[in-house]
């Protein structure tokens, strides 16, 4: 099965700085890598995802990069704002068998943006 | 609200009692997942349905847990003889597609507290 490792576990930045969260995965057949943001007491919400046919994807202040050779992908948040404070999870799917689409999540990163 | 809906939002039960949770996925989503999330951790996979067929159960799912999706629409998760270790957030997610790279949308979750 898939194994996903996420670092760092906590990240503290000043408003306006950039934040980077990194994940590694084990299943070389995985081809879809979502990032979820979870605020306290709320559901995980998809914020950006990337498929393996591209190396980078941007959506306003957030971007995700993928290195399939090294089996790692990263979330980049620029010009951070206090409302970016949340727990961020990376995930990767099981790409084969009967588990198509089942997501394995990283351990999460608690991002705190100080005003 | 056309998102994934879960009921109840909160459940407090005494140890040894049975509980049942319901998940209504996004209409026409063929895939439905149950995850469990404890404080400070990422969601952990419990079970997966494609239409009405339960295709995988995690080793985390003991014999006290059972899930159904009788008509390929809503799903129920039942926990029999609850234990304090069952206390967690139970999240349901749904997605549409056949491959591994499909977006999963989460419900608000059911927070279970076993006292």
Compute the average pLDDT of residues A81-110: 87
DSSP assignment of B81-99: S--GGG-EEEEEEEE--SS
Higher pLDDT, A84 or A30: A84
**Tokens of residue B74, six digits:** 């809503």
Q: Is the pLDDT of residue A1 over 80?
A: no
Distances (CA, A) of A90 to A74, A100, B15, B79, B98: 9, 17, 34, 28, 21
pLDDT interval class at B35 (50, 70, 90): very high
**How crowded is residue A26: how many other Cβ atoms within 10 Å of its Cβ?**
13
Interface check for B31 against chain A (CB to CB < 8 A): the answer is yes
Please name the residue ranges forming H helices in chain B: none
**Alpha carbon of A16: minimum distance to chain B alpha carbons (Å):** 26
Confidence of residue B1 (pLDDT cuts 50, 70, 90): low
Residues 11-50 of A with CB under 8 A from B: 30-32, 34, 36, 42-46, 49
> A32 and B55: CB-CB below 8 Å?
no
Name every chain B residue with its beta carbon within 8 A of the beta carbon of A103.
Answer: 33, 43, 45, 93, 104
pLDDT band at A53 (very low <50, low <70, confident <90, very high): confident
- Contact residues on chain A for B56, CB-CB shorter than 8 A: 98-99, 102
State both tokens at A87: 């727990």
**Cβ within 8 Å of residue B42, ≥6 positions away:** A6, A89, A91, A105, A106, A107, A108
Total number of residues shown for chain A: 115
**Three-state DSSP class for B104?**
coil
Q: Are B60 and B44 in contact (CB under 8 A)?
A: yes
A115 touches chain B (CB under 8 A): no
Percent share of chain A, pLDDT over 90 = 77
Two tokens, residue A55: 């190396």
Does B54 contact chain A (CB < 8 Å)?
no
Q: Mean pLDDT, chain A, as a whole number? A: 92
Rounded to whole angstroms, the Cα distance separating B56 from A108 reads 24
Contact assignment for B103 to A49 by CB distance below 8 Å: yes
Q: Which residue shows structure tokens 């089942």? A: A102
Contacts of A101 in chain B (CB under 8 A): 31, 33, 48, 95, 97, 99-100, 102, 104
């Amino acid at each position: 099965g898939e194994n996903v490792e996420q670092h760092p576990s906590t990240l503290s930045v000043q408003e306006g700085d950039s934040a980077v969260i990194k994940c590694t995965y084990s299943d070389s057949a995985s081809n879809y890598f979502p990032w979820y943001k979870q605020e306290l007491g709320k559901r995980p919400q998809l914020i950006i995802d990337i498929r393996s046919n591209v190396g980078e994807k941007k959506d306003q202040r957030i971007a995700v990069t993928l290195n399939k050779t090294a089996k790692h992908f990263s979330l980049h948040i620029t010009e951070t704002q206090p409302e970016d404070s949340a727990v961020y999870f990376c995930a990767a799917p099981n790409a084969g068998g009967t588990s198509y689409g089942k997501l394995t999540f990283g351990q999460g990163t608690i991002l705190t943006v100080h005003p | 609200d056309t998102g994934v809906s879960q009921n109840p939002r909160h459940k407090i039960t005494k140890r040894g009692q049975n509980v049942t949770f319901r998940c209504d996925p996004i209409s026409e989503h063929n895939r439905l997942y149950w995850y469990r999330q404890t404080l400070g951790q990422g969601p952990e996979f419990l079970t997966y349905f494609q239409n009405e067929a339960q295709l995988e159960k995690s080793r985390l799912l003991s014999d006290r847990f059972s899930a159904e999706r009788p008509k390929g629409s809503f799903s129920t998760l039942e926990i029999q003889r609850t234990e304090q270790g069952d206390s967690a957030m139970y999240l349901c997610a749904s997605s549409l597609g056949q491959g591994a790279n499909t977006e999963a949308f989460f419900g608000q979750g059911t927070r279970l507290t076993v006292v």
